[in-house]
Amino acid sequence: MSGQSGKRERLEDRALAALLSEPTIVQAATTAGISESTLARWLADPSFRARHREARRQVVEQAISALQRATEDAVTTLTRNLRCGVPASEIAAAKAVLDFAVKGVELVDLAERVEQLEQAAAVKKGERR
């Protein structure tokens, strides 16, 4: 790797980090130490956009993992609030529990339907051969 391409890669890495942490492209460019036009040009490049998309996906996956780790505490809190003696809190907790239960059933049903469709498509694809 030449020094120039290594420098560009380091700048791109800084730009990706800045894009994830700064609220605007202008601020991201400043934080990364590049011009706004350079960052705009990089964002137009498919390979840089793919790296940016992957970095954003990783951030979202980390956030989802954190939410999943907090699920047990959330259920405990909702359950406690079902009998806390404050009617408004009890109603809100009950509504949340029911909403989440229904959504859970809907997700399981949807996953089963997708699996059935995939199996049907695989069978149909096998028939065409």
Per DSSP, the chain holds a count of helices (H) and strands (E) of 5, 0
| Residue 95 sits in the same domain as residue 125 | yes
| Residue 2 sits in the same domain as residue 63 | yes
| Residue 66 sits in the same domain as residue 128 | no
Residue pair 39/15 in contact (Cβ under 8 Å)? The answer is yes
Please give the C-alpha separations between residue 79 and each of 23, 84, 92, 97, 102, in angstroms, as whole numbers: 37, 9, 11, 8, 16
Q: Which residue range is the domain that position 21 belongs to?
A: 1-73
Q: pLDDT tens digits for 59-89?
A: 999 998 998 898 899 889 999 999 999 999 9
Q: pLDDT tens digits for 51-67?
A: 999 999 999 999 989 98
DSSP state of 82: T
Q: Residue 23, CB half-sphere, CA atoms under 13 Å: how many?
A: 0
| Residue 97 sits in the same domain as residue 53 | no
Average pLDDT along the chain:
92
Residue pair 29/36 in contact (Cβ under 8 Å)? The answer is yes
Q: pLDDT tens digits for 103-121?
A: 999 999 999 999 999 999 9
Number of domains in the chain: 2
| Residue 90 sits in the same domain as residue 124 | yes
| Residue 2 sits in the same domain as residue 56 | yes
| Residue 39 sits in the same domain as residue 69 | yes
Residue pair 29/38 in contact (Cβ under 8 Å)? The answer is yes
Mean pLDDT of 98-106: 91
Residue pair 70/59 in contact (Cβ under 8 Å)? The answer is no
| Residue 6 sits in the same domain as residue 38 | yes
| Residue 61 sits in the same domain as residue 90 | no
Of the residues 52, 73, 94, the one at which a domain ends:
73
| Residue 68 sits in the same domain as residue 105 | no
Please give the C-alpha separations between residue 106 and each of 9, 41, 99, in angstroms, as whole numbers: 44, 43, 11
